Amino acid sequence: MVFEAVGAPLRALARPVPRAQPGQLLVRVQACGVCRTDLHLIDGEVEIAAPPRILGHQIIGTVERDAGATASASASASDEERRVGVPWLGWTCGRCAYCRGGRENLCPHARFTGRDIDGGMAEYVVADERYCFPIPASYPSEQAAPLMCAGLIGYRALRMCGDAQRIGLYGFGAAAHILAQICRWQGRSVFAFTRAGDDAAQAFALELGAAWAGASEQAPPEALDAAIIFAPLGSLVPLALRAVAPGGTVVCGGIHMSDIPSFPYGILWEERVVRSVANLTRRDGEELLALAPRAAVQTHPTSYPLEQANEALADLRAGRFTGAGVLVP
């Protein structure tokens, strides 16, 4: 399913199976999650520099036996089926100050899966082996796919909240539904904020252990220690600032957000912090994939055949499913 131009639907095309170069894996895709970032790419809010491009950066698949591209390590890789996850972070330079300082997520030369490199809305994908993750056996591929971005960005955003006990989640989609379970396992309290009247999302949040669920415009029953905003609405930033206690942090978890309206300094005063999180590091992935099975995180995928990628994206945009949308070739 190929992105050709801003605003146009993805197009189903037949293409030759890609060839892995040395250091790369040829992965047969079993599942690929859809993400709000895909909508930002299609809408042109995040630029694809060199279309056409295959989107999709929450990929789970099996490594195909080496097709002759390299005779090195993969020749000894056993006959067993090897399952990997391919995330948004597809390549970094390894040399810049960010890469050397443990912040490869900010590498200015980074290449991202499904934006700069062809992604997983396809039957096969080629990925740099150094950025792929082994997937815990307890997760079926459709369940594991949402961990690759929704889970990872949620996990990174949660780390930015430090030891906050009462956490607000604005936008209860794929990321929040994973994070709510992690927070609960860690003994934190979750307060879920959704569009006013989205009873399904609020009920879902309570089912997953949220202490409270309501509309974004509502004040929570107690002041929060931190809030994470997953919905791409700048207007949520002052709302979240008003909901956090002195010293509290508001984390913006998306790659794009509408403009933030001006707000009185008084709601930032007392050492409140507004910050964003960007991308992921490999360390984030290793930590999350070790934690998820221990916390018994269950993702709730709604699956679509690959050729219905446009329908899945439209349903994501309209909020027509709870949990995560996943494409299955």
Which chain residues interact with Zn ion by CB under 5 A?
35, 37, 92-93, 96, 99, 107, 149
Q: Which is nearer to Zn ion, 82 or 115 (CB)?
A: 115
Check: CB of residue 60 under 8 Å from CB of residue 151: no
Q: How far is the CB of 319 from Zn ion (least distance, A)?
A: 17
Q: What is the 3-state secondary structure (H, E, C) of 192-230?
A: EEECCCCHHHHHHHHHCCCCEEEECCCCCCCCEEEEEEC
Check: CB of residue 139 under 8 Å from CB of residue 151: no
Q: Which is nearer to Zn ion, 171 or 248 (CB)?
A: 171
Q: Which is nearer to Zn ion, 232 or 248 (CB)?
A: 232
Q: Hey, what are 128's tokens?
A: 């740099």
Q: How far is the CB of 255 from Zn ion (least distance, A)?
A: 8
Q: Which is nearer to Zn ion, 99 or 252 (CB)?
A: 99
Which residue type, as a one-letter code, is found at position 198? D
Q: Which is nearer to Zn ion, 96 or 203 (CB)?
A: 96
Q: How far is the CB of 173 from Zn ion (least distance, A)?
A: 11
Check: CB of residue 88 under 8 Å from CB of residue 281: no
Q: How far is the CB of 58 from Zn ion (least distance, A)?
A: 6
Q: Rounded to whole angstroms, how far apart are CA atoms 157 and 37?
A: 16
Q: How far is the CB of 33 from Zn ion (least distance, A)?
A: 8
User: Three-class SS of residue 71?
Assistant: coil
Q: Which residues pair with 27 in a beta bridge?
A: 63, 125
